[in-house]
């Protein structure tokens, strides 16, 4: 540990920053974010003495104590117009300088030298089998042209729960604070939901179950394809004998995506083939990507990113092109993207070891590879108009430049990529594609919590419970009222998100008159859910949308889980009275809308803000947090005194539950920390167990809080920590 004090100049101000080098560079960036409001990914930190850029690779124990902080966004805005034009024309995918970490000059020189040597060696190693290379690529052209068939596209669209995926896409954007997304943003989010849905709806086949009794089968080799199988491109048919009844089951390897939409089974070839059809069916520019080392996946052009994006439907992983080399340990050679308008060598997108890859590209020379692909691409484009050709050629040039930059990028350095998850374990081990089981990041971005609706829902129960006391309802009758509200929420969740309407249905305990009597107390909760109540001519009460349906979609799961907990808590109240209306039955003054940073997170579903979204459907997961990790929360407004907090266990794996932790507060944006609470040997006795803690050290106003988790429940059996939710409660004014 080295304690440093830095003098950081930004604009006309100078900040004193105390820093412990053991905390890591991202903590230092978060401290600067707290002081200057410049997000870490927009920070450029330079030593004033030598103009050297300070980065994650720098030794903060040795750099100059005088630093200058510049906002990359502001710096870009100040560049001359001519330079801006040059930047936009060469990066293609957006602000490369701001968003991409590149290797040092020394590293680049070593890489270029190794590449030059590999190219020289390849001239002697590579064969002259141009025809064989072409034979591996050309047959896939007819396959991708099937994706353009309107009949096949319509068959694919009919199987998709469109409304459900649209809702999930919009909710995912809303969780990031984007309630008014552009069409481009919405399309990007929908594509990701399409990927996740496809993963859930398509089945992987190791060995098909017996057609007769459904029991396990054993491979028996191959058989001749039947005419009905050949009709859908199944030139290969695998045979399996039942281990119980000895019946032979056929597994045709269909190549026609129309048939795959029906069967919804297969291995990576079928998965990628069918998913690429789905992408085209919804209008995305798409490619089938062929890896000569025996894998297939999809690429789609993302208007939101301004570039091609990798999607692997079998793994449900997107935009992680180093998955195969870094996660699976593949020794790549040729990766060819095949589309209706051409074929492309995209190998450089999927490697950071180009010189090693070159040594394995032995089918034919590099010039022959370029020649073959260029020739096929010209054939694919022979009927294109000059305007379309111009657009395609410009995109080709942009992509070539991007592929060269990808080789020099270090953006994925903090990302831990998983081994292969699809397929039988022994099969994956035999293919040397078995690795870790998670996609995670040890260098997290600062995320903003879009959770004001959670606080509003918690606060809304106050008027309902006060009305129960005012009208002298017993706890048991109050529980029945809450069950009516819960049933209404469940009914609303089942409906299309743009057409939600459900009745408030009385039951045998709570009659219509009592529901009408209590209705005014429901108003605050309905407002929090962007709902309103209506009464028809027959006196039947219903609840319907009152505003943005996305707000309702975001809030309904929170309300459902909050009602479950309130019903449980109220049912345990022996003497329900005004004195019962206190914490934790009432969870008032919950802190919200802050910024969050963590020591690590699971991507894409176990991110840090998942701990603050108010639902049981998510969790924050730290893949390397079993022996120690942290999560920090920066307030969006004034100082607050933390008086209580709640932690909830996640959905599974009790060995990952936090057991020992320290809660700290800071009144200077994270420069110095004050211990607020400390717990040891805490146990969560079941899943989704919410535990409430009153802060032991009160009276300290903070603008930032930090949980330092020291150990999990069973540190010997896991490397992970997970938390279902964290709720922070401030002192009421």
**Among all residues, which ones are annotated catalytic?**
268, 295, 312
Distance CA 246, CA 558 (A): 51
Q: Considering only CA atoms, which of 277, 318, 313 is closest in space to residue 295?
A: 313
The H or E element that residue 469 is part of is: helix 452-470
CB atoms within 10 A of CB 322: 20
CB neighbours of 457 closer than 8 A, spacing ≥ 6? 525, 528, 529, 555, 558, 559, 562, 614
Between the alpha carbon of residue 94 and those of residues 38, 144, 304, 321, the distances in Å are: 20, 29, 10, 18
Query: Helix/strand/coil (H, E, C) string of 335-361?
Result: EEEEECCEEEECHHHHCCCHHHHHHHC
- What six digits make up the tokens of 718? 């896991």
Question: What is the distance between the alpha carbons of residues 222 and 239, in angstroms, rounded to a whole number?
Answer: 5
Q: Is 251 exposed, middle or buried (0-12, 13-18, 19+ CB in 10 A)?
A: buried
Report the DSSP beta bridge partners of residue 249. Answer: 240
Query: Of 55, 92, 107, 86, nearest to 407 (Cα)?
Result: 107
Helices (H), 46-104: 72-77, 81-91, 96-99
Q: Name the β-bridge partners of 726.
A: 647
DSSP class of residue 224 equals P
Backbone angles phi, psi at 615, to 5 degrees: -120, 160
Buried b (16+ CB within 10 A) or exposed e, 354-381: bbebbbbbebbbeebbeebbeebbeebb
What is the bridge-based pairing of β-strands 620-622 and 674-679? unpaired
List, as own/partner pairs, every contact residues 584-589 make where C-beta atoms lie below 8 angstroms and the sequence separation is at least 24, other chains included.
584/644, 584/646, 584/692, 585/465, 586/461, 586/462, 586/465, 587/458, 587/461, 587/646, 587/727, 587/729, 588/458, 588/459, 588/462, 588/729, 588/732, 589/729, 589/730, 589/731, 589/732
Selection from 462, 501, 509 nearest residue 484 by Cα: 509
CA distance 174 to 451: 10
- For the chain, the distance separating the N- and C-terminal CA atoms, rounded to the nearest angstrom, is 40
Measure the CA–CA gap between 707 and 695, rounded to whole angstroms: 13
Distances in whole angstroms, Cα of residue 152 to Cα of each of 259, 291, 312, 356, 459: 9, 25, 21, 41, 50
Return d(Cα 458, Cα 630) in angstroms, integer. 26
Contact of 30 with 40, CB cutoff 8 Å: yes
Tokens 């281990």, residue located: 243
Q: How far apart are CA 31 and CA 25, in angstroms?
A: 10
Cα–Cα distance for residue pair 450/551, rounded to 1 Å: 11
**CA–CA separation, 335 vs 319, rounded Å?**
16
């Amino acid at each position: 540990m080295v304690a440093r004090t830095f003098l950081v100049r930004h604009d006309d101000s100078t900040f004193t920053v105390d820093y412990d080098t053991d905390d890591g560079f991202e903590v230092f960036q978060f401290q600067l974010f707290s002081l200057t409001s410049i997000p870490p990914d927009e920070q450029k930190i330079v030593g004033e003495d030598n103009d050297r850029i300070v980065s994650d690779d720098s030794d903060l124990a040795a750099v100059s104590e005088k630093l200058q902080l510049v906002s990359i966004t502001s710096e870009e805005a100040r560049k001359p117009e001519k330079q801006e034009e040059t930047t936009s024309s060469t990066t293609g995918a957006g602000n490369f300088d701001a968003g991409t970490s590149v290797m040092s000059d020394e590293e680049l020189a070593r890489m270029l030298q190794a590449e030059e040597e590999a190219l020289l060696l390849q001239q002697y190693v590579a064969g002259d089998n141009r025809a064989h290379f072409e034979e591996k690529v050309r047959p896939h052209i007819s396959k991708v042209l099937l994706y353009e068939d309107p009949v096949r596209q319509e068959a694919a669209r009919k199987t998709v729960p469109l409304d459900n995926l649209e809702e999930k896409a919009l909710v995912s954007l809303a969780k990031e604070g984007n309630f008014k997304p552009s069409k481009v943003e919405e399309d990007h989010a929908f594509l990701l939901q399409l990927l996740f849905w496809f993963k859930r709806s398509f089945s992987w086949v190791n060995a098909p179950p017996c057609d007769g009794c459904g029991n396990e089968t054993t491979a028996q080799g191959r058989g001749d394809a039947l005419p009905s199988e050949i009709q859908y491109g199944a030139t290969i048919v695998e045979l399996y004998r039942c281990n119980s009844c000895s019946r032979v089951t056929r597994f045709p390897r269909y190549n026609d995506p129309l048939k795959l939409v029906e069967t919804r089974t297969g291995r990576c070839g079928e998965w990628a083939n069918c998913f690429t059809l789905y992408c085209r069916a919804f209008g995305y520019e798409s490619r089938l990507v062929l890896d000569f080392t025996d894998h297939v996946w999809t690429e789609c052009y993302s208007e939101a990113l301004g570039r091609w994006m990798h999607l692997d439907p079998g793994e449900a992983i997107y935009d992680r092109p180093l998955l195969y080399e870094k996660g699976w340990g593949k020794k790549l050679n040729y990766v060819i993207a095949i589309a209706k308008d051409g074929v492309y060598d995209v190998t450089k997108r999927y490697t950071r070891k180009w010189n090693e890859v070159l040594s394995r590209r032995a089918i034919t020379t590099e010039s022959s590879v370029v020649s073959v692909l260029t020739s096929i691409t010209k054939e694919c484009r022979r009927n294109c108009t000059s305007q379309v050709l111009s657009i395609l050629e410009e995109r080709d040039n942009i992509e070539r430049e991007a592929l060269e930059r990808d080789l020099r990028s270090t953006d994925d350095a903090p990302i831990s990529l998983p081994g292969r998850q699809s397929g039988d374990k022994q099969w994956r081990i035999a293919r040397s594609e078995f690795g870790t089981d998670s996609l995670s990041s040890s260098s997290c971005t600062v995320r903003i919590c879009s959770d004001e609706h959670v606080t509003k829902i918690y606060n809304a129960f106050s008027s309902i419970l006060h009305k129960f006391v005012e009208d002298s309802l017993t706890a048991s009758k109050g529980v029945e009222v809450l069950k009516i509200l819960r049933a209404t929420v469940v009914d609303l969740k089942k409906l299309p998100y743009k057409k939600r309407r459900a009745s408030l249905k009385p039951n045998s305990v709570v009659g219509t008159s009592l529901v009408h009597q209590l209705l005014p107390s429901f108003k605050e909760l309905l407002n929090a859910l962007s709902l309103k109540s209506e009464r028809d001519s027959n006196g039947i009460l219903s609840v319907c949308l009152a505003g943005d349906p996305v707000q309702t979609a975001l809030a309904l799961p929170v309300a459902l889980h909050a009602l479950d907990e309130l019903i449980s808590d109220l049912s345990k109240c022996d003497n329900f009275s005004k004195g019962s209306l206190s914490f934790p039955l009432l969870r008032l003054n919950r802190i919200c809308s802050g910024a969050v940073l963590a020591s690590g997170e699971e991507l894409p579903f176990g991110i840090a803000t998942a701990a603050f979204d108010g639902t049981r459907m998510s969790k924050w997961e730290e893949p390397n947090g079993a022996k120690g990790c942290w999560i920090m929360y920066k307030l969006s407004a004034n100082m607050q005194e933390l008086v209580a907090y709640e932690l909830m266990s996640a959905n599974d794996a009790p060995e990952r539950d936090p057991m020992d932790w320290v809660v700290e507060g800071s009144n200077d944006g994270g420069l110095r920390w004050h211990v607020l609470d400390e717990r040891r040997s805490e146990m969560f006795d079941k899943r989704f167990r919410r535990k409430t803690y009153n802060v032991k050290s009160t009276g300290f106003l903070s603008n930032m809080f930090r949980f330092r988790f020291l150990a999990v429940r069973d540190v010997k059996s896991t490397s992970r920590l997970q938390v279902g939710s964290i709720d922070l409660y401030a002192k009421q004014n």
